[in-house]
DNA sequence: TAATAAAAGTTAGTAGGCTAACTATTAGTG
DNA sequence: CACTAATAGTTAGCCTACTAACTTTTATTA
């Protein structure tokens, strides 16, 4: 059998994993002893709740927005509730739902996180033209769809 | 303060995270009851050890190749040793090192994993030209470097 | 209306990812 | 040679991520 030797330096899945992990690391290193350190997904959740304060937001909305499973969402929200960044309130009209509400502390941390998010957004794009970014997004969407198709083939 | 509302559908970090998670899911769904289910990083490790059977391979090599921390490497290898996919053998010339060796079972699982890896590699690239893939890799490298620069600014 | 299906969220268990702190060993330097 | 640096790997503790199985509640349909 001919040995197929993978060149990891050209592997797009590998590159994606590495980039993904560095983004986590960015958030981890962005807090110089301000007490707590909201993680990447916590910052994203704070941001989402803040931007949708006029609406009612439930766990299922986070799951759809961020493409995470129910179990993952429960984990993230459990930690955030423990750290007093959010509350989960019952909804009178539907006992299955729990309304997600920012606490005062959650709002304060969202303010603090905002500059970190903006700095990352700007910094990531350094040296990229708008055209390149559009192509980059399109490639990511296309390749993700290819992988989704493979997963569906596996599970059909 | 003007509310900055993030459009997650255009966020490249978000897209990268989603693609990354679907690759994990691909590996998870690629085993129809063949007993054990080697995960993404386990398959990558098996592949790497197989391709470098003539050399001596140590944990630090995996850390460098896959850009993972020592703790993460220890975790992955611990599980693989428990499942009898690899052994960790002492090295006479340097007591700090542990040589990583594939077991018979490890070799068998690498064979079984090979078709899954090839199918993913092919499937991911469906509809992409070689030129597009080259550009895609270049974008991932450039953006990852941008993020590394931000992390280094944070930690300097 | 009663039975069934669908939806929302939780729990258990596991993998991969990290940092910080640690042990042990080897290499380098005054 | 002795002291210090660096290297290799582990452990503890945490967060994100998943599936599978579960409870509770609401919606649908026979």
- Tens of pLDDT, residue by residue over A61-89, are 999 999 999 999 999 999 999 999 999 99
Contact between A125 and B146 using a beta-carbon 8 Å cutoff: yes
For A102, list phi and psi in degrees, rounded to 5: -70, 140
Cα end-to-end span (Å), chain A: 31
* pTM, full prediction: 0.93
User: Which chain A residues touch B136 with a CB distance below 8 Å?
Assistant: 12, 136, 139, 143
Question: Is residue B33 within 8 angstroms of chain A, CB to CB?
Answer: no
Q: What integer pLDDT is reported at residue B35 of this predicted model?
A: 62
Q: By percentage, how much of chain B surpasses pLDDT 90?
A: 83
Domain boundaries, chain B: 21-125, 128-156
Give, in Å, how far the C1' of D22 lies from the CA of A58: 21
Q: Mean per-residue pLDDT for B104-130?
A: 93
Q: Is the CB of B94 under 7 A from strand C?
A: yes
Count of H-run helices and E-run strands, chain B:
6, 2
* Class level of CATH domain A21-125: mainly alpha
Range 74-113 of B in CB contact (< 8 A) with A: 111
Q: Is the CB of B39 under 7 A from strand C?
A: yes
CA B11 and chain centroid, separation: 23
Q: What integer pLDDT is reported at residue B115 of this predicted model?
A: 87
Selection from A15, A136, A155, A143 nearest residue B120 by Cα: A143
Collect the ranges in chain A with pLDDT lower than 70. 1-4, 32-35
Selection from A67, A69, A88, A66 nearest residue A77 by Cα: A88
pLDDT digits (tens, 9 = 90+) for B61-78: 999 999 999 999 999 999
């Amino acid at each position: 059998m001919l040995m197929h030797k993978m060149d990891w330096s050209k592997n797009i899945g590998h590159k994606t994993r590495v980039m993904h992990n560095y983004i986590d690391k960015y958030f981890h290193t962005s807090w110089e002893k301000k007490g707590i350190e909201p993680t990447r997904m916590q910052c994203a959740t704070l941001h989402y709740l803040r931007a949708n304060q006029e609406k009612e937001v439930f766990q299922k909305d986070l799951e759809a927005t961020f493409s995470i499973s129910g179990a993952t969402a429960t984990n993230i929200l459990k930690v955030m509730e423990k750290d007093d960044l959010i509350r989960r309130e019952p909804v009178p009209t539907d006992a299955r739902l729990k309304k997600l509400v920012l606490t005062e502390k959650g709002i304060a941390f969202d303010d603090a996180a905002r500059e970190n998010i903006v700095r990352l957004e700007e910094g990531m794009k350094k040296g990229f033209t708008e055209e390149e970014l559009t192509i980059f997004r399109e490639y990511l969407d296309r390749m993700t769809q290819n992988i989704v198709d493979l997963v569906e083939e596996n599970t059909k």
